[in-house]
Structure 1
Amino acid sequence: MQFYQVREVHFADLIRACQLIFLPSKGISRVYADVNWEIIGIPNDVLENLKALGKEYQYSSPHVPPEIIWGKMSLETRVWFIENKDELWTIEEMFPMLDED
């Protein structure tokens, strides 16, 4: 993974994004309930893998060991992740009222 210049912060951003992709409203009714993720640049085959990760880690800290996350990513998701690692934080910024920072 070091070859791709992927750092732990990228994996934390990925987990935060997965949590939002799994449940965009974070339990708040009528908030971002229907998001077209493909328009945002997430292909459907990748989306399903990200939703599964979001479901699994929905209550977790985003600081899951990278090797665990990497092992749960499909090949398509790994490619997408490497190509988009520096932009993942923008997904969280699309939901400012849910952003805890």
Structure 2
Amino acid sequence: MSEPHHPSANQIPEVGLRASHFADLVRVAQIVYDPSGGLSGGSFAVDWQSFGLPEGVIADLKILGQRYQFSSPHIAPDLVWEQLTPASRQWFMKNRTILAELEETFAARDED
């Protein structure tokens, strides 16, 4: 008799997440980490909670943004997923459709 299959906690659920959603998340993480986009003299604070990001998600995105600060946002979804906390995963699944809108708020950062 075989063991029942239980999906790994790190397995991406089948909820309609596409590679483009993960690229959007990486772009948002890059923006959260450095809203100025590395422009000299362009340091400023952003109230990310006013954009609907909980504190734990903000912390998680800053780490992700720092890690991929100078990278293309097109990173393998499983690599991104495994770096997110459970709370950030839940937020991402719920808010994946608004990430592009959030990016557009910081259009100067949208290089690709």
Is TM-score (shorter-chain normalized) higher than 0.5? yes
Give the Cα separation in 2 of the matches to 1:39 and 1:32: 19
Aligned position for 1:87 = 98
Check conservation: 2:27, 2:110, Cα contact below 8 A: no
Tell which structure's C-alpha radius of gyration is larger.
2
Runs of 4+ residues deviating >3 angstroms: 29-32
Aligned position for 1:49 = 60
Equivalent of 2:16 in 5, 30, 42: 5
Q: Structure 2 unaligned runs (5+)?
A: 1-11
1:97 is the counterpart of 2:88: no
Matched ranges for 1:3-42 at <5 A: 3-31=14-42, 33-42=44-53
Report the CA distance shift for 1:17/1:97 in structure 2 as closer, same or farther (over 3 A).
same
Q: Which amino acid aligns with 1:95?
A: F
User: What's the C-alpha RMSD, in Å, of the aligned pairs?
Assistant: 1.5
Percentage identity across aligned positions?
40
Give the Cα separation in 2 of the matches to 1:97 and 1:57: 17
CA shift at 1:30, angstroms? 5.0
Secondary structure (helix, strand or coil) at the match of 1:3 reads: coil
Aligned position for 1:58 = 69
CA shift at 1:98, angstroms? 2.9
> Normalising by the residue count of structure 2, what TM-score does the alignment of the two structures yield?
0.83
Secondary structure (helix, strand or coil) at the match of 2:37 reads: coil
Provide Cα deviations, 1:15-36, integer angstroms capped at 9, x if missing partner: 0000000000012245461100
CA shift at 1:97, angstroms? 2.8
Give the Cα separation in 2 of the matches to 1:90 and 1:25: 17
Give the Cα separation in 1 of the matches to 2:100 and 2:30: 12
**Paired residues, what number?**
101
Query: Which structure: greater helix fraction?
Result: 1
